[in-house]
Structure 1
Amino acid sequence: MAPVTEDEAAAAAERIFERLAESGGLLQQHDHQLQRQLRLHFRRMPARYLVDMCGGKAEEVLIHLQLLADCADPANRPVVHARFLLTIPSSSSSSIVRVHVHEIVFVCLDKPKLLSQLSALVSEVGLNIREAHVYSTLDAFSLSVFLVDGWNKEEAGGLLKAIKEKVIVWLADQMLRATD
């Protein structure tokens, strides 16, 4: 897909901004600044991100914007976010089971084989990937969004802790490989 134009970014930012305003999630004194941040955010993202986000929840864009801002500081990399999304009934052969679906977002520098490494990391926590969306920014970051099940609780704090523990091991492994 072609890069996002200034007009496309401005239109997407306006749509997201309007949806945020409708939901009551904005403070008027920061409106102009947020519109500018949204426009810049959409300019750095691939066109597919605009399509995905303009049809989704506006609050997701704010989360992504903050995570990418956090990742700008090398000391914070990678940035990981987890949240509970929904519970869906799933029938097994003998009973109805409730499946909790969580979203995990990783933001880090983009590199070859990153998706397979993050997928393996998610799997090591014992999670099943239901969906994955990966966006590479123009400034060489990767925003990787996984919808997963397999965490038996709605709360995401323990899930985030488990993922961060795996990330520490993953980073240590990356450092060891770099010295070989």
Structure 2
Amino acid sequence: YNEVLARLRASGGAEISPAFQDALWAHFHRLPARYALDVNTERAEDVVTHQRLLEEARDPARRPALSVRVVQVSRIIDGDMDDSCDHEMDMVASSHLPNQMVHPPPAFGSSSNLEALALEANESDVGSTNNDDDNSVHLVSRPMHEIAFASTDKPKLLSQLTCLLGELGLDIQEAHAFSTIDGYSLDVFVVTGWRLVGTKQLKEKIMEKFRSVEAQACTVSSASSPSLEGLQGGESRPTSTSVQIPSDGADVWEIDLKLLKFGNKVASGSNGDLYRGSYCIQDVAIKVVRPERISADMYRDFAQEVYIMRKVRHRNVVQFIGACTRQPNLYIITGRSQWG
């Protein structure tokens, strides 16, 4: 908070009012500590953008709040230096970086994954900071798009967004997802696969696709399934003992609880908990909806999340293993590759 505030003051913009300082303080404290640790504080304006998006998301007419921009991931390399010299080389060559960067870096810095992607850039993306000899230092860069969403926090949202981006032909290189303490979410993706000159068109396509997905979700939720019909009437519980997930007969996803083994709890959210575990000797992650949090809306969200996850197959999205829909046990089981 202090570093971002200092950078905003140093930028020479308008005077920062006490009300803005209070709002910035509240912004950091409504998000998990991981946000403050991961966000690139050298890009203080990105923090302000995230704050603005979350405020816009309070208005139902403006949800989801969306920001799309071109970002650039760069890595300074020298073919004659080994990995042990990377840090020293970065320190020496850092003075050349601003002159070579055409676009700003991502809001959450450049991870090793993104730096590796930059190294795959074409020759036209390589800028040399010194061509006098064979020991020249080069800046290898790769422009990409950063997409930031802010909306109400729902179990199905992240699956919807990753599926949406994939259907637009975008390849997700990195994703950062945060839930606020007051029921909103901030999801930031770094993607490739879209022409750089079409940022406005990309934003329009994302919003168009999102509205389409929302409309499909409403259609699925209002389907004539026996257990979902009563939910439209405001009942707090369904009349059936199972959540009926829309099925196209393509696969079988109901798990056998006898084969599911729980391990230790690794995370908790407002509506449920996440456990390590195993299913048929495969390491899995088990998302458990707390029985006391089950409501008509929660059943609809759970059904939609399972429906979407069954359809998603992408190397940057965890693998869907199955689900348990028999109350009071509402579980979603996914692969555990994200934990190594």
* TM-score range normalised by the length of the shorter chain: 0.7 to 0.9
Count of paired positions: 164
Counterpart amino acid of residue 158 in structure 1: Q
In 1, the alpha carbon distance for the partners of 2:21 and 2:30 equals 15
The reply to whether residue 121 of structure 1 matches residue 164 of structure 2 is yes
**Aligned residue for 1:42?**
28
TM-score (norm 1): 0.82
Q: Which structure 2 residue ranges, 5 or more long, are not aligned?
A: 75-117, 126-141, 224-340
**Aligned residue for 1:149?**
192
**Aligned residue for 2:214?**
171
Contact 1:91 1:97 in 2 (8 A): no
Alpha carbons of structure 1 residues 138 and 96: separation in structure 2 relative to 1, 3 Å: same
In terms of Rg, which structure is larger? Answer: 2
The reply to whether residue 71 of structure 1 matches residue 54 of structure 2 is no
Post-superposition shift, 1:54?
5.5
The reply to whether residue 130 of structure 1 matches residue 130 of structure 2 is no
* Greater shift in the superposed pair: 99-108 or 63-72: 99-108
Q: Which structure 1 residue ranges, 5 or more long, are not aligned?
A: 1-11
In 2, the alpha carbon distance for the partners of 1:134 and 1:119 equals 11
Post-superposition shift, 1:153?
1.9
Provide the aligned C-alpha RMSD in A.
2.0
**Equivalent residues in 2 for 1:99-114, closer than 5 Å:** 99-114=142-157
In 2, the alpha carbon distance for the partners of 1:97 and 1:151 equals 18
Counterpart amino acid of residue 72 in structure 2: L
The reply to whether residue 15 of structure 1 matches residue 3 of structure 2 is yes
Post-superposition shift, 1:96?
3.8
In 2, the alpha carbon distance for the partners of 1:50 and 1:100 equals 25
Post-superposition shift, 1:59?
0.8
**Aligned residue for 1:4?**
none
The reply to whether residue 27 of structure 1 matches residue 27 of structure 2 is no
Q: Alpha-carbon deviations, 1:98-150, whole Å to 9, x = none?
A: 55301101111111132222111011111111110000000111100001111
Helix, strand or coil: the match of 2:34? helix
Structure with bigger helix share is 1
In 1, the alpha carbon distance for the partners of 2:72 and 2:35 equals 22
Counterpart amino acid of residue 200 in structure 2: G
Contact 2:174 2:191 in 1 (8 A): yes
Contact 1:83 1:155 in 2 (8 A): no
Segments ≥4 residues shifted beyond 3 Å: 87-92, 95-100
* Greater shift in the superposed pair: 114-123 or 53-62: 53-62
Post-superposition shift, 1:178?
2.1
Which structure is richer in relative contact order (CA contacts within 8 A, separation 6 or more)?
1
Counterpart amino acid of residue 180 in structure 2: T
**Aligned residue for 1:86?**
72
* Greater shift in the superposed pair: 159-168 or 133-142: 159-168
Counterpart amino acid of residue 70 in structure 1: E
In 1, the alpha carbon distance for the partners of 2:202 and 2:123 equals 23
TM-score (norm 2): 0.45
Post-superposition shift, 1:22?
1.6
Counterpart amino acid of residue 73 in structure 1: D
